[in-house]
Structure 1
Amino acid sequence: MSPRPLLLLALHLSAALSLAPAARETRIIELLGKGRVGLPQSDEVELDELVANLEGRKPTIASVRGDWDLLYTSKSEFDPANPLGRRVDGTAPGIEKIFDVAFSQAEAVASSSPIQRFVTGLESVEIRQVVELDDAGTGRVDQFVEAGENVVFRLSASGSFDEATGRLDFTFDDAYLTAFGVRIPYPVPFRLLGDEASGYLDTRYVSDTLRVSRGNKGTTFILRKR
């Protein structure tokens, strides 16, 4: 990298660190605009620094409830040794275990699934997450992938939130596509997948406007409340 880009990166990092805690959230929203856009490298570096230095309140059941628009997901390269993605804790349930045994690596890193990489890479769709929890922290976590008003893919899961750890656990149990009023089932036998149909989101930061979570495959999600 030539000296000029390095200087620009250094300036972006300096600017990110100099912001007051309350202003970092505002700057994140400015960088991301309306949502999951491709960012220049300097903006990616600044965003990473801002997210790493966010200071927020302790996540609660009430604070993670609601209807959230996905603004951004961190990127991960496709790993041919882990084509279904790799979990942060090293576990590999179900089909993932087959690849884990066949292509075992001493230094394998977490990576997102191919479906996640594909869907979150589409600029023409909107993705939102609806978290419905009772006062005990039990309820539903639904994902909606919307291509306009007439085409919606819904991926539904049972969920529970632990205030002590800030972790939102979920297990997918239903999915379907609605296209121009016609409901089309998604042919995945979730009940037969066992742990492979489960995951979690660790809440790293939450406010009345923004939520930053890290998933079980190492992906960082930035969501804005509707």
Structure 2
Amino acid sequence: MALIENLNLWPPSKLQRNLALNSPPKLFNFKPSATHSIRKTLHTCRCSLVNEQQQQQASFTDQEKQLIDALIGIQGRGKSASPQQLNDVERAVQVLEGQEGKGDPTSSDLIEGRWQLMFTTRPGTASPIQRTFVGVDFFSVFQEVYLRTNDPRVSNIVKFSDWIGELKVEAAASIKDGKRILFQFDRAAFSFKFLPFKVPYPVPFRLLGDEAKGWLDTTYLSHSGNLRISRGNKGTTFVLQKKTDPRQKLLAAISTGTGVEEAIDEFISLSKSVAKDEPVLLEGEWQMIWSSQVETDSWLENAGNGLMGSQIVKNEQMKFLVNILPGIRFSMIGKFVKSGTKTYDVTMDDAALIGGPFGYPLEMETKINMELLYNDDKIRISKGYNNILFVHLRASDGSK
């Protein structure tokens, strides 16, 4: 972030690897028994949850929703974004910056509080801290802004997990004008849940001189106080939110591997309460990012049942596509017909291993009754083979 991008010191890379090793798996950790045990609790709070999330959705303008839509599916807060995704985000950012957000944002109470970092660009000057921590989806990254105190501060927080702890990098702050905050790093520390004391981060701030200084411009602050766009002194663009879209909450749960069952249940409940029409199976290429079924030892069985890879939906046909080895793909083509409300009968019976211009046919057939639980132009939730839950992200609309 704007503060982190000014630190050009190597972070503890071993720590990052250890934290990642201690993290739960990102995918395939759905436990039906856990879902069953929480359903009664979810049912009692569902009305208040739905009302809260409906108000949350209404707090974003149409132009702000376009930016959020552009962010859906981008991994690593921009680190793994495609050129098209980056263009979509930049275009949405420019639209908002050209509009009239909250005037003099640094003087507004709306800028105060904890902001979650959703996206950042990656200039060549990005610090090792930024490259190491900010691009890891398993970690949550926040920025705290408190300017109306006796000790004004802007802090960046990397939260490793609820059970591990966080790194907090703090800077003394001052307001230069209606948009710009000046800052200077002065302390940083790790707070680990398993230690009763903080571990200082070994950065000699006093010796850094101007390297510890910088500025942060707020180029857009929403009137609701839920969305902020900022640009740092090294050219980095940041998109931050106080409240997140329900889809963002779901994808965050999948990225961390925690609370996925609850997130899906809440999301489906919300979508049912606000949906006017039944979901429709949209064409395009859909990448599977989560499944309630653990993969088996047979990659062929996994691929044939849609437990890995992507699906291409076009002209009432469906194709499973899995990259097995460099230059070798598994392909399985079939047809689908609408069989009822939100349900489709899918028959996959044309399988082959493809290497370059050559194909080796495989004798396989899979019949699936697919129930579409949710579908928009970015995300799809469905029940498929053997009643397994799937979450797919749309990689393209299939127009090319």
Return the TM-score normalized by structure 1: 0.69
1:76 aligns with 2:123: yes
Q: By how many angstroms is 1:57 displaced?
A: 2.6
Kept in 1, the 8 Å contact 2:106–2:177? The answer is: yes
* Cα deviation 1:196-219 (Å, max 9, x = unaligned): 111111111111111111111100
Alignment of 1:110-149 (within 5 A): 112-134=126-148, 139-149=152-162
Distance, in Å, in 1 between the alignment partners of 2:194 and 2:216 is: 32
The corresponding residue for 2:114 is: 67
- Counterparts in 2 of 1:22 and 1:152: CA distance versus 1, 3 Å: same
1:209 aligns with 2:226: yes
SS of residue paired to 1:72: strand
Partner AA of 1:60 in structure 2? T
The corresponding residue for 2:3 is: none
Matching residue within 160, 163, 186 for 1:173: 186
* Cα deviation 1:155-204 (Å, max 9, x = unaligned): 0111112343x011111111111222422111112112121111111111
SS of residue paired to 1:188: coil
SS of residue paired to 1:128: strand
Q: How many aligned residue pairs are there?
A: 171
Q: By how many angstroms is 1:60 displaced?
A: 3.4
The corresponding residue for 2:201 is: 186
* Cα deviation 1:48-69 (Å, max 9, x = unaligned): 1110121123223223211100
User: What percentage of aligned pairs have identical amino acids?
Assistant: 37
Structure 2: runs of 5+ lacking an equivalent: 1-59, 244-400
Return the TM-score normalized by structure 2: 0.40
Q: By how many angstroms is 1:131 displaced?
A: 0.6
Partner AA of 1:193 in structure 2? L
Distance, in Å, in 2 between the alignment partners of 1:168 and 1:60 is: 7
Alignment of 1:1-226 (within 5 A): 22-33=61-72, 36=77, 38-54=80-96, 55=99, 56-58=101-103, 59-61=105-107, 62-77=109-124, 85=125, 112-134=126-148, 139-149=152-162, 150-164=164-178, 166-182=179-195, 183-207=198-222, 208-226=225-243
Distance, in Å, in 2 between the alignment partners of 1:161 and 1:176 is: 25
Structure 1: runs of 5+ lacking an equivalent: 1-20, 78-84, 86-111
Partner AA of 1:157 in structure 2? A
* Cα deviation 1:87-111 (Å, max 9, x = unaligned): xxxxxxxxxxxxxxxxxxxxxxxxx
- Counterparts in 2 of 1:155 and 1:23: CA distance versus 1, 3 Å: same
SS of residue paired to 2:152: strand
Larger RCO: 1 or 2 (CA < 8 Å, sep 6+): 1
RMSD: 2.2
Kept in 1, the 8 Å contact 2:70–2:92? The answer is: no
Distance, in Å, in 1 between the alignment partners of 2:168 and 2:106 is: 25
